[in-house]
Structure 1
Amino acid sequence: MAEALQHVRWGIVGPGGIAHRFAEQLPHSATGRLVAVASRDAERARAFAAEFESEPGGIRIHESYDALFADPDVDAVYISTVHTQHVRLTIQALDAGKHVVCEKPLSIDHAGAMAVVEAARRNGRYLAEAYMYRFHPQIVRLAELIADGAIGEVQHVDASFAFRADLPAEHRLMNPELAGGGILDVGGYPVSAARWVAGAAIGERFADPVSLTAKGEVGDTGVDEWATASLVFASGITAHVTCGVRLEDDNRIVVAGSKGRIVVPQPWIPSPTEPSYLELSRTDGTETISIEPAWQYALQADAVAEYAAQGQSPNIGWADSLGNARVLDQWRAAIGLEYPFEAATANIPPASGHAPRRRADATMRYGRIIPGLEKDVSRLVMGVDNQTTLGHASAMFDDFVERGGNAFDTAYIYGGGSMERLLGQWVANRGLRDDVVIIGKGAHTPHCDPESIVRQLDETLERLQTDHLDLYLMHRDNEQIPVGEFVDVLDEQTRAGRIRAFGGSNWSIQRYEEALAYADANGKQRFSALSDHFGLAHALDVPWAGCRHVTDVEDREWLERTGTTLLPWSSQARGFFARADRADTSDAELVRCYYSDDNFERLARARQLAAELGVAPTAIALAYVLAQTFPTFPLFGPRSIEETRTSMAGLDVTLTDEQVRWLDLRA
Structure 2
Amino acid sequence: MTDTAIRWGILAPGSIADSFAADLAVTPGAELVAVASRDAERSAAFAARHGAARSYASYDELLAADDIDVVYIASPHALHHEQATRALEAGKHVLCEKPLTLDRTLAASLIETARTHDRFLMEGMWMACNPVILDLRARLAAGEFGAPRHLFAEFAFRVDAGPEHRLLNPALGGGALLDVGVYPLTLAHILLGEALQLRATGVTDAVDLDVAIAGRYPDDAVASLAVGLTRHAPIAARLSTDAGWIDIPDFFAPTHFTFHPSGGAAGGEPLRFDPPQPLYGRGFGNEAAEVARCLRAELRESPLVPHAQTLAILGQIDRLRADLAGTAA
Distance 1:194 1:152 in 2: 16
SS in 2 for 1:209: coil
- TM-score, with length taken from structure 2: 0.92
Counterpart of 1:524 in structure 2 is none
Counterpart of 1:279 in structure 2 is 258
Match of 1:254 among 233, 238, 253: 238
1:211 aligns with 2:197: yes
Distance 2:242 2:137 in 1: 16
1:29 aligns with 2:31: no
SS in 1 for 2:86: helix
Counterpart of 2:17 in structure 1 is 19
1:245 aligns with 2:245: no
Amino acid at match of 2:201: K
Identify which of structures 1 and 2 has the higher relative contact order when contacts are C-alpha pairs closer than 8 Å and 6+ apart.
2
Deviation, structure 1 residue 140: 1.0
Distance 1:61 1:283 in 2: 56
Superposed CA offset, 1:275-316 (max 9, x none): x32110122213232414612211211112211211122211
Amino acid at match of 2:279: A
Q: Count how many residue pairs are aligned between Structure 1 and Structure 2.
A: 316
* Alpha-carbon contact 2:44-2:56 (below 8 Å) kept: no
Superposed CA offset, 1:473-519 (max 9, x none): xxxxxxxxxxxxxxxxxxxxxxxxxxxxxxxxxxxxxxxxxxxxxxx
Which segments of 5 or more consecutive residues in structure 1 lack a partner in the other structure? 199-206, 271-275, 338-667
Deviation, structure 1 residue 50: 1.3
* Alpha-carbon contact 1:211-1:231 (below 8 Å) kept: yes
1:102 aligns with 2:96: yes
Amino acid at match of 1:314: P
Superposed CA offset, 1:157-186 (max 9, x none): 111211112112211111111111111011
Counterpart of 1:148 in structure 2 is 142
Deviation, structure 1 residue 269: 3.0
RMSD of the TM alignment (CA)?
A: 1.5
Superposed CA offset, 1:358-400 (max 9, x none): xxxxxxxxxxxxxxxxxxxxxxxxxxxxxxxxxxxxxxxxxxx
Amino acid at match of 1:332: R
Superposed CA offset, 1:586-630 (max 9, x none): xxxxxxxxxxxxxxxxxxxxxxxxxxxxxxxxxxxxxxxxxxxxx
* Alpha-carbon contact 1:4-1:307 (below 8 Å) kept: no
Where does structure 1 differ by over 6 angstroms across 4 or more consecutive aligned residues?
none
Greater strand share, structure number = 2
- TM-score, with length taken from structure 1: 0.46
Match of 1:307 among 274, 294, 301: 294
Superposed CA offset, 1:432-472 (max 9, x none): xxxxxxxxxxxxxxxxxxxxxxxxxxxxxxxxxxxxxxxxx
* Alpha-carbon contact 2:80-2:96 (below 8 Å) kept: yes
1:294 aligns with 2:283: no
Percentage of matched positions with identical amino acids: 35
Deviation, structure 1 residue 5: 4.6
* Alpha-carbon contact 1:4-1:305 (below 8 Å) kept: no
1:87 aligns with 2:81: yes
Deviation, structure 1 residue 4: 5.6
Amino acid at match of 2:24: L
* Alpha-carbon contact 1:158-1:241 (below 8 Å) kept: yes
Deviation, structure 1 residue 6: 2.9
Distance 1:145 1:261 in 2: 13
Deviation, structure 1 residue 236: 2.1
* Alpha-carbon contact 1:135-1:299 (below 8 Å) kept: yes
* Alpha-carbon contact 1:279-1:286 (below 8 Å) kept: no
* Alpha-carbon contact 2:93-2:119 (below 8 Å) kept: yes
Superposed CA offset, 1:499-558 (max 9, x none): xxxxxxxxxxxxxxxxxxxxxxxxxxxxxxxxxxxxxxxxxxxxxxxxxxxxxxxxxxxx
Which segments of 5 or more consecutive residues in structure 2 lack a partner in the other structure? none
Distance 2:284 2:53 in 1: 19
Match of 1:229 among 213, 217, 231: 213
Amino acid at match of 1:294: L
- If you compute each CA radius of gyration, which structure gives the higher value, 1 or 2? 1
